[in-house]
Structure 1
């Protein structure tokens, strides 16, 4: 339930927003819009004035409540840099399909008197992906401190049922993860989102601990042991080489092929990534990665014999 103080804060915000978009509004119009008494509106205007917002009332025909000309909220509350940072942060929420974010950005853009705030568009989902509901469900669970359950598939294909107190969403090295306390393991764990299936938010709540301390603990539940790879690519996949590796990781050979030196966490993902290049890539080093790729290719061939 929204408390009286929160209702008033929301109403004050809406009043300022309304005044920025209208020259003059009468107290009666505001009272009807917010379904409160005219006396309550007068108290709201007094509260805004005491907070430093240059709002004033005029009597007579055409009178009403107005803001001083050219007033923008940032002169009273936020610096120009702070406004830009807030709007930029809100823009990135489009990546997880945050509800009503466009309305919020539009309102703050008007309050800050900024028209060119829509300068960035971020989308972390895969091409063609429609499953963004996961982000909203996890966000709601984290904010409201609600326990979640899901089936989890490890890098070895093992399926387990997890009950977790979610703490933080984390984007790392091309993938999304969830940090949380796993009740099955009774320890802090990190879960890769695309391995979580049948996600559900329960009615069970949990006590908020020091999230900052927990999320900075040594990571468990995900293998961060890295492997230094040396790969050689054929000229025909130059487009992928330059798309997927940094320029300082690439050396172009005289025959048009490319040598790439890169460091990745070693798990099933990296084996599958190398295999995704098919016959257009050769593992030069290390030897044990060569052996793993050969083994995977031989196993694949057996299925077609």
Structure 2
């Protein structure tokens, strides 16, 4: 709705100062022309907003202008209280601050919406950690967090997966990303975007030098590029399997990161077919944990890999 978009523009300008029209258009998912029409509408309504064209131009409010917006809708009020409990905020040392902030938001909410918001916090819980995730090394986020918030360069001693020795990197952080319960540092190394898994950082030290980020590049942009590189990297393998119905729920929980096609359930069949996408062929071996409740149908090399693994296990226990 246009009224919601106008309010969003007003809040963005109030918190960010001057914002390029193109950035506003991207955030609001509209055209630049629509943004300028909205700015005209705000100006006609008495809001002191103006646009300055040119390379360093943008849209901004008259200095000192503030507005107190309290007209949250019921759904907006609920949305504020759907939060990841015991996860990202606690890891960053912000759980106490989050609780305090929510209490302030609750006090500022329109009275009719307070019961719904409070009920949402008790009825909806978001847990980003995968099922059956085994114990792994704890990530020390303190130094990484300090570097991100202070805009400082970092010196890392980092161990890559499959390697025993650590390597040293000097990086320029963009920020931290929590994905499925795993923290990652997104940073540039020698001007190129890199992804560092936080629990593989053996040591981190803040440098006195300020961070050197590429102009106009934001954390979300770098993360999207790196995420696509991981998910679309060459050399992967697509595997088709069939799963017995009595193990379907467990199969879906344990294989969620690799599922590319969910089983079609007709409610009658004993076996259901699913598709998985692995980075390397050897990852298919974890399906042996389902014994005869999961069968790999294709490709042939995946069946052969499981057969070799099964023979090796049989020899081990026959001995």
TM-score (norm 1): 0.56
The equivalent position to 1:264 in structure 2, one of 271, 277, 286, is: 277
Per the alignment, residue 149 of structure 2 pairs with 143
Shift of residue 284, structure 1, vs aligned partner = 0.7
Q: State whether structure 2 residue 109 is matched by structure 1 residue 106.
A: no
Per the alignment, residue 84 of structure 2 pairs with 92
Q: State whether structure 2 residue 280 is matched by structure 1 residue 280.
A: no
- SS of alignment partner, residue 262 of structure 1: strand
The aligned runs of 1:1-305 (5 Å cut-off) are 76-81=68-73, 84=77, 87-88=80-81, 91-92=83-84, 94-96=86-88, 97=90, 98=92, 99=94, 100=96, 101-113=98-110, 114-115=114-115, 116-117=117-118, 118=121, 119-125=123-129, 134-135=140-141, 137-146=143-152, 147-154=154-161, 156-157=162-163, 159-163=165-169, 164-171=171-178, 176-182=183-189, 187-193=192-198, 196-204=200-208, 205-209=210-214, 210-212=216-218, 213-217=221-225, 222=230, 224-225=232-233, 226-241=236-251, 243=253, 249-251=262-264, 257-267=270-280, 270-271=283-284, 273-301=286-314, 305=319
CA distance in structure 1 between the aligned counterparts of 2:77 and 2:267, rounded to whole angstroms? 47
Q: 1:176 to 1:300 in 2, by over 3 A?
A: farther
Q: 1:234 to 1:83 in 2, by over 3 A?
A: closer
Which consecutive unaligned segments of at least 5 residues does structure 2 have? Answer: 1-64
Shift of residue 267, structure 1, vs aligned partner = 3.4
Q: 1:250 to 1:51 in 2, by over 3 A?
A: closer
The answer on whether the counterparts of 2:281 and 2:302 sit within 8 Å (CA) in structure 1 is no
CA distance in structure 1 between the aligned counterparts of 2:288 and 2:127, rounded to whole angstroms? 26
Of 206-215 and 247-256, the range deviating more from structure 2:
247-256
Larger Rg: 1
Shift of residue 257, structure 1, vs aligned partner = 3.5
Per the alignment, residue 21 of structure 2 pairs with none
Shift of residue 283, structure 1, vs aligned partner = 1.0
Residues 156-187 of structure 1: CA deviation (Å, up to 9, x unaligned): 4565424233323345577554322235xx63
CA distance in structure 1 between the aligned counterparts of 2:178 and 2:311, rounded to whole angstroms? 34
Shift of residue 137, structure 1, vs aligned partner = 4.7
Of 221-230 and 145-154, the range deviating more from structure 2:
221-230
CA RMSD of aligned residues (A): 4.2
The answer on whether the counterparts of 1:190 and 1:220 sit within 8 Å (CA) in structure 2 is no
TM-score (norm 2): 0.54
Shift of residue 232, structure 1, vs aligned partner = 1.6
CA distance in structure 1 between the aligned counterparts of 2:267 and 2:79, rounded to whole angstroms? 49
Equivalenced residues, count? 228
CA distance in structure 1 between the aligned counterparts of 2:261 and 2:281, rounded to whole angstroms? 25
